[in-house]
């Protein structure tokens, strides 16, 4: 069995060593143009030439959860496309989102500014009931985030394409549930995949439906958010602030207003990182399962875009 590794912006040697150690009978090769045909591919942002030269692949493993960039390429017709299914990302995402929600709810930035001035002063405690959190996308990551926020006793809502039932979470689904979901949310977390249906979903009309003093947390993809609409609603005061981990252009371009905005916290696409060891274990177990003819989790449906 041959596995071809083609991941841009990734230190390849530790991945190659890890894949070889996990599957000692496989030939694991770093792809280069003209490389031999492989059975499986492990990829991140590969060039189109990679797939053009590897039309026989049985499965393509993406070393990330989101496949929006991968699905823009012409893929081998018979290959399964398999994304990372948690692999250590959901706990990181829960940490990031809970931190952002709590930092905003407990006014920790304002406390920090006060204490830097030498001020020992208190703010009136706020009620969790006034900070209902709505999570768009109740998949592997969204559900874990929802459960973690329930643990902190926030009112939590979830919105997904198909109906869900999660303890302690009020679930909404589909277009018919969207307006009610937004109206019930003050903090909005985006954990949707980027598809034609979800692009620009955080636009002026939808963000205006949130409760006044809303807070936005985007940890999915930059193209879910219309930047100018967020800026306008921050100016109008309808939105109180935002924590943004993902951007339309990454790295965020120099001079973009988000960098210095006093109500926006920027992080460099780091809310849930790919963990090499967990990912290698997951991918190699799935290769073994596919070889045995068994089904695997995390198979992407190209027609729905995730």
Q: Which residues would be at the binding site for ligand NDP (CB under 6 A)?
A: 65-66, 89, 137-142, 159-162, 191-195, 197-198, 219-221, 245-246, 269, 271-272, 306
Residue 222: what are its φ and ψ, rounded to 5°? -60, -35
Q: Give how many residues touch ligand OXD by CB under 6 A.
A: 4
Structure tokens at 285: 């177990």
Pairing relation of β-strands 187-190 and 169-173?
unpaired
Min CB(66)–ligand OXD separation in Å: 3
Partner touching 18 among ligand NDP, ligand OXD, none, CB below 5 to 8 Å by kind? none
Min CB(117)–ligand NDP separation in Å: 34
Give the number of C-alpha atoms closer than 13 A to the C-alpha of residue 206, restricted to the C-beta side: 19
User: Which CB, 89 or 230, lies closer to ligand OXD?
Assistant: 89
CA 305 – CA 47 distance, rounded (Å): 19
Partner touching 192 among ligand NDP, ligand OXD, none, CB below 5 to 8 Å by kind? ligand NDP
User: Which CB, 64 or 241, lies closer to ligand NDP?
Assistant: 64
Does the protein bind ligand OXD through residue 66 (CB under 6 A)? yes
Question: Active-site residue 209, yes or no?
Answer: no
> Residue for token digits 């068994």?
294
CA 42 – CA 297 distance, rounded (Å): 16
Q: Of 221, 273, 292, 304, which residue is the catalytic one?
A: 221
Question: Of these, 18, 64, 134, 155, which contacts ligand OXD (CB under 6 A)?
Answer: 64
Partner touching 141 among ligand NDP, ligand OXD, none, CB below 5 to 8 Å by kind? ligand NDP
CA 166 – CA 58 distance, rounded (Å): 35
CA 175 – CA 21 distance, rounded (Å): 47
> Residue for token digits 């989102």?
97
**Closest residue by Cα to residue 282 from 108, 6, 85:** 85
Min CB(91)–ligand OXD separation in Å: 14
Does the protein bind ligand OXD through residue 65 (CB under 6 A)? yes
Strands of the 187-190 sheet, one edge to the other: 169-173, 156-160, 133-136, 187-190, 214-218, 239-244, 264-266
User: Which CB, 61 or 154, lies closer to ligand OXD?
Assistant: 61
DSSP 8-class letter at 304: T
What is the number of H-type helices and E-type strands within the chain? 10, 12
Min CB(249)–ligand OXD separation in Å: 15
Partner touching 39 among ligand OXD, ligand NDP, none, CB below 5 to 8 Å by kind? none
Question: Active-site residue 238, yes or no?
Answer: no
Q: Which residues, 25 to 44, sit near ligand OXD by CB under 6 A?
A: none
CA 137 – CA 191 distance, rounded (Å): 5
In the complex, residue closest to ligand NDP by CB: 139
Structure tokens at 9: 């912006």
Min CB(64)–ligand OXD separation in Å: 3
Q: Which residues are catalytic?
A: 221, 269
Residues that bind ligand OXD (CB under 6 A): 64-66, 274
């Amino acid at each position: 069995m041959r596995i071809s590794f083609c991941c841009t912006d990734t230190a390849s040697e530790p991945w190659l060593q890890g894949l070889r150690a996990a599957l000692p009978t496989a030939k694991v090769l770093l792809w280069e143009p003209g490389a031999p045909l492989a059975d499986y591919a492990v990829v991140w942002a590969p060039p189109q030439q990679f797939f053009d030269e590897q039309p026989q692949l049985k499965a393509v493993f993406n070393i990330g959860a989101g496949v929006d960039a991968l699905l823009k390429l012409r893929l081998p017709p018979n290959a399964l496309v398999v994304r990372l299914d948690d692999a250590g990302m959901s706990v990181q995402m829960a940490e990031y989102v809970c931190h952002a929600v709590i930092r905003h709810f407990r006014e920790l930035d304002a406390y920090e500014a006060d204490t830097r001035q030498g001020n020992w002063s208190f703010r009136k405690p706020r009620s969790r009931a006034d900070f209902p959190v709505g999570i768009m996308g109740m998949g592997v990551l969204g559900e874990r985030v929802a459960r973690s926020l329930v643990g902190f006793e926030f009112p939590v809502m979830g919105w997904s394409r198909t109906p869900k039932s999660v303890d302690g979470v009020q679930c909404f689904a589909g277009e018919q549930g969207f307006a009610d979901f937004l109206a019930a949310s003050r903090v909005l977390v985006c954990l949707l995949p980027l598809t034609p249906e979800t692009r620009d979903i955080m636009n002026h009309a939808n963000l205006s439906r949130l409760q006044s003093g809303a807070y936005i947390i985007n940890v999915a993809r930059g193209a879910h958010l219309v930047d100018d609409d967020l800026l306008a609603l921050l100016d109008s005061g309808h939105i109180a602030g935002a924590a943004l981990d993902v951007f339309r252009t990454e790295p965020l371009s120099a001079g973009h207003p988000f960098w210095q905005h006093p109500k926006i916290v920027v992080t460099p696409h780091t809310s849930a990182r790919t963990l090499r060891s967990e990912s290698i274990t997951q991918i190699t177990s799935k290769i073994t399962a596919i070889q045995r003819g068994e089904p695997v989790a995390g198979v992407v449906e190209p027609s729905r875009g995730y």
